[in-house]
Amino acid sequence: MNATTLLPAVGMAATLAVVLGAVLGWVAARLRADPDSLVEKIDVLLPQTQCGQCRYPGCRPYAEAIARREADIDRCPPGGEATVHALATLLDREPRPIDPQYGVTKPPLVALIDEDRCIGCALCLPACPVDAIVGAPRLMHTVIKSQCTGCELCVAPCPVDCIAMVEPAAHAPRTVNA
């Protein structure tokens, strides 16, 4: 047996390897599970409170962490049991109770600014993750009730403690009489 008889076989094998490799590579690139679409699917199941109780700076980052399997699905108190169940079904994991380390599920509340005490410092404006506070420096601020997610992130920055979390029904900013 000499090199000349081996050559066609080696050539054939090499060609096959190159062609099949190219096909496999193309298929892998084409059919790759899109990590963004999984994040998107997880994100829409989250309550979008943007409260950060999960220790991530918002619902989207938490969704990314779940998709990376870095965080478990039990960190969202505002979503509660319903969200855990929905996530468990989507990801085919076991549902589990919310880890109390990340807070407890409460009835939905909204922020209410005591407009008599507000000094117009504007510190709560950037704190609100969903832009639900209206105001400007040295002017009174108010919360848009329908857009407030109840994340409580505006409470801590207020230097005069004039923001309270109240039941949505009790939220009645003063109305201007015509």
Partner 1 sequence: MSLRGGLRLDSHKARPLERPIRGVPPPTEIALALDQGSGEESVPVVKAGDAVHMGTLVAASAGAAASLHSPVSGIVREIAVRTTLRGSGRCIVIENDGNDRRAASLAPLDWRTLDEVALLEHIAAGGVAGLGGAAFPTATKLALARAARADLLLLNGAECEPWICCDDGLMRERAAQVVLGAQVMLAATGARRCVVAIEDDKPEAILAMESAVSAASDARIEIRVLPAVFPLGAEGALVTAVTGREVPHDGLPPQVGVVCQNVGTAAAVARLVQDGQPVISRIVTVTGSGVREPCNVEARVGTPVADLIGACGGSDGPELRHIAGGSLTGRILQSDTVPVTKGLNCVLVATSADLPARGMEMPCIRCGDCATVCPAGLLPQQLHAAARTDDTAGLVRYGLSACIECGCCDYVCPSAIPLTARFRTAREQQHLQDMERRRALDAKARYERHQRRLAEQAEAERRAFDEARRRARDSETGTD
Q: Binding residues for partner 1, per CB under 8 A?
A: 43-44, 46-50, 58-60, 126, 128-132, 146-147, 149, 178
CB of 156 to partner 1, least distance (A): 18
Residue 129 or 162: the one with the smaller Cβ distance to partner 1 is 129
CB of 135 to partner 1, least distance (A): 15
Listed residue (44, 51, 40, 46) closest to 148, CA to CA: 51
CB of 143 to partner 1, least distance (A): 13
CB of 131 to partner 1, least distance (A): 5
Residue 119 or 125: the one with the smaller Cβ distance to partner 1 is 125
Residue 86 or 166: the one with the smaller Cβ distance to partner 1 is 86
Rounded CA gap, 106 and 88, in Å?
21
Residue 43 or 74: the one with the smaller Cβ distance to partner 1 is 43
> What DSSP designation does 117 have?
T
Q: How far is CA 101 from CA 38, 55, 87, in A?
A: 26, 10, 19
Residue 97 or 100: the one with the smaller Cβ distance to partner 1 is 97
Rounded CA gap, 122 and 47, in Å?
26
CB of 31 to partner 1, least distance (A): 28
Listed residue (88, 83, 80) closest to 106, CA to CA: 80
Angle, CA of 61, 65 and 101, to the nearest 5°: 90
